[in-house]
Structure 1
Amino acid sequence: MKTLYDVQQFLKQFGIFVYVGKRKWDIELMSIELKNLYKAGVVDKPTYVKAQLVLRHEHHIEEVRDNQQK
């Protein structure tokens, strides 16, 4: 898993479709859903860690973008 799209496709395998309307919020909700899947034992640790790293990276990009617009 290397991109946000990869994480989205992974979550879709579990019937999780995320679209809140703002990219930053989508990323945050995907992180919550991924965490719930991991806690439920559906996702293994290596996959969870890779996906969370992608989400954190994308979230950071959005935060920087938001701060530049202010």
Structure 2
Amino acid sequence: MESLYDVQQLLKQFGIIVYVGKRIWDIELMQIELKKLYDSRLVDRDTYLSAWHILRREHHIEEGREQG
């Protein structure tokens, strides 16, 4: 797993499609949904951590774009 698209595809496997309209909000909602999947034991720890790091990275990038 290397990109936000890969995380979206992971969520899609569970019927989760996220589109709020603002990219940073989409990423935040994906983090919530990913945590729910992990807590429900539907994804393993390695998959969860890989996806979580991607979402954190993308969130940081979006924060930078919004600030200037």
TM-score normalised by the chain length of structure 2? 0.99
1:32 Cα deviation after fit: 0.2
Aligned to 1:13: 13
> Using the alignment, how far apart are the partners of 1:38 and 1:25 within structure 2?
20
The alignment of Structure 1 onto Structure 2 pairs a total of residues equal to: 68
Provide Cα deviations, 1:18-45, integer angstroms capped at 9, x if missing partner.
0000000000000000000000010100
What displacement does 1:17 show? 0.3
Aligned to 1:3: 3
Identical aligned pairs, as a percentage? 66
> Unpaired runs of 5+ in structure 1?
none
Deviation beyond 2 Å, 4+ runs, structure 1:
none
**TM-score, structure 1 as length reference:** 0.96
In structure 1, the partner of 2:39 is 39
Match of residue 62 from structure 1: 62
Q: Distance in 1 between matches of 2:6 and 2:34?
A: 13
Paired with 2:2 and 2:59, the residues of 1 have a C-alpha distance of 14
Provide the aligned C-alpha RMSD in A: 0.3
